[in-house]
């Protein structure tokens, strides 16, 4: 695929997100549904498309430590070390900040944040958007996770406002991110390995 096609897909995804739409896109782990993490109406639409209970929080992809700090009410003092030491994509559960759409937060006020560096497409989309990007698996709630585009349910494809064409033929199978809760002392509690 050409670099021009790549840029066009990044631009199209960002344009849809700026219009407060829901996109279907390849994440740094599995295929996902996403929207601007600061727009409550877009988050509502995403939850409806997935038939996801409102109390189940989603992950937010961020571009760097500064964006992480914007969305975390409490930033782990050792964040740089945590990020440098990751062996695979890792989501950090932290108290959420007022910059996030309130309907994204878990009932306890937390949010899962993941800094995306290894996946060029996701990183460019988040960087260009300038906001966090909601990331939830592209499946109906309770159904299996779609690791590749061919596994995405037709109802999800039809329901998304924009379907990213990048990596649709990629058969590389990844697993969802590792999820850890950041404890008050900066330690980690593994939620999902």
Contact yes or no for 123/79 (Cβ under 8 A) = no
Which tens digits make up the pLDDT trace of 80-114? 998 988 888 999 999 999 999 999 999 999 999 99
Which tens digits make up the pLDDT trace of 9-62? 999 999 999 999 999 999 988 999 999 999 999 999 999 999 988 788 899 999
Which tens digits make up the pLDDT trace of 140-188? 988 999 999 999 999 999 999 999 999 999 888 787 888 999 988 878 8
Which CATH architecture fits 3-167+174-192? Alpha-Beta Complex (3.90)
Sequence spans of domains, the chain: 3-167+174-192
pLDDT of the residue at 167: 92
**Max Cα separation, the chain?**
46
Strands (E), the chain: 23-26, 31-34, 59-62, 90-95, 110-115, 133-137, 162-163, 178-182, 188-192
> Which of 52-56, 70-74, 115-119 is predicted least confidently?
52-56
């Amino acid at each position: 695929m050409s670099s021009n096609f790549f840029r066009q897909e990044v631009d199209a995804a960002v344009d849809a997100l700026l219009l407060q739409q829901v996109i279907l896109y390849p994440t740094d782990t599995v295929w996902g549904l996403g929207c601007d993490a600061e727009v409550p109406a877009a988050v509502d639409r995403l939850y409806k498309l997935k038939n996801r209970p409102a109390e189940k929080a989603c992950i937010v992809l961020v571009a760097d430590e500064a964006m992480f700090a914007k969305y975390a009410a409490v930033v782990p003092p050792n964040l740089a070390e945590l990020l440098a030491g990751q062996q695979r994509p890792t989501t950090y559960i932290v108290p959420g900040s007022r910059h996030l759409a309130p309907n994204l937060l878990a009932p306890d006020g937390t949010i899962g944040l993941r800094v995306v560096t290894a996946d060029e497409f996701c990183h460019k989309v988040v960087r260009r958007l300038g906001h966090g990007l909601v990331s939830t698996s592209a499946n109906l709630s309770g159904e299996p996770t779609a690791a590749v585009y061919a596994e995405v349910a037709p109802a999800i494809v039809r329901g998304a406002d924009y379907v990213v064409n990048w990596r649709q033929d990629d058969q590389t199978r990844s697993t969802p991110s590792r999820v850890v809760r950041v404890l008050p002392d900066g330690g980690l509690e593994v939620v999902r390995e």
